[in-house]
Structure 1
């Protein structure tokens, strides 16, 4: 997909990767960029900079996503590209077991990292299927392909997000629907701002949101399912598939190195 002339929606568009995507889509000549964010002030600032439209949207609320989609379609006729980008991070917390995070954290991550993608697809698919074309870009994480030491809820829901993106591509690929899963490691956003050097996710360096947006433009043009701003992720994924036990041992070593507060 070429972004020029397209109507694009970006959730979590008020900052970080979402903001960079909005700016890059505008620079690429998108017809209209819709900036959706829980923070309306942030969304409005980005929208003003890209000559777009701002929406205050809680992606945990299916009705809110559908209302936004209906509004955008009413104004611009259709949505070409929906970027389901909102995300959160928390950490397991004391005593740093895989079960340490409270149910409220697990539920929030499930709703934001998985169900928000489902809600977006549910709202957009009827119009896209009628037109015989459409594109979903789901921001996942390298954690969805590998894991994130110290955040079991994040890792688990990101794996589920990959599963849904695969299902979307398998089920609707013959209908003209394209799907891409964006899976970076550490990116210089507010999400990792309090983690020194990006933690375990930063072992291969911390990219800027703008570098991630560059990778997205390239991936969309090639219509690749996996967009990997950190190319090393492909090698790690191959190593995981080749020898799961060895890979798990390597991840335990990584945790011992600097991912376990109890050591």
Structure 2
């Protein structure tokens, strides 16, 4: 498994080199947008029984520069672990027929209002039918007017201080997303405060220790990753993953892999089922 993360690191470096070279060329222009409802950016060998994951990274407010690298990392995780990954920014992917193809949907660095009412309704039906949801970082900074979505995620973003190092304390080391990371995990990220503490409604997997960084506003109990069963489906959220270098960090990739695979039913986790 560690070898796959070394591959991801090399891919990250090559992606950065490509961006530098293309940005410096006066003749370069970004490619035209693809109108396809679900754009398959990469996959493992096709199989009629393979688990499929949909990665959705549309933004209607702040856009994270990490999105391309983050997508590439999830695609690589899928190819290494035997599931197919499609990535899109097109809300038309949220139809009953299309969502039925997937075991889980990842809201990756989404911001703002990204789905219309019909698309929201289709996604609600997907979750109620037993689908999985994984939210990464600013997935909590989206769809403030859609109360159901806020409950699915577990909390809405409120504010953050400057990017800095902090210590994460693992509360449940049995979950796939926290089983392989250090019990006291020091890393650099953008540490979100939330409008309300989600603890009473979710199963908290990890907290960030506010005494180890400056500007935190939630106090001694500051959840940063959690999971819960919600409305018939499965939900996992991590507030980490702001910067591109997260997606070449071995521990963060283990965290991300475990979260996605838990809501897709690839990795078993009973701890979350009784919450929500």
Please tell me the TM-score bracket, short chain as reference.
0.3 to 0.5
* TM-score normalised over the length of structure 1: 0.40
* TM-score normalised over the length of structure 2: 0.39
Q: Greater helix share, 1 or 2?
A: 1
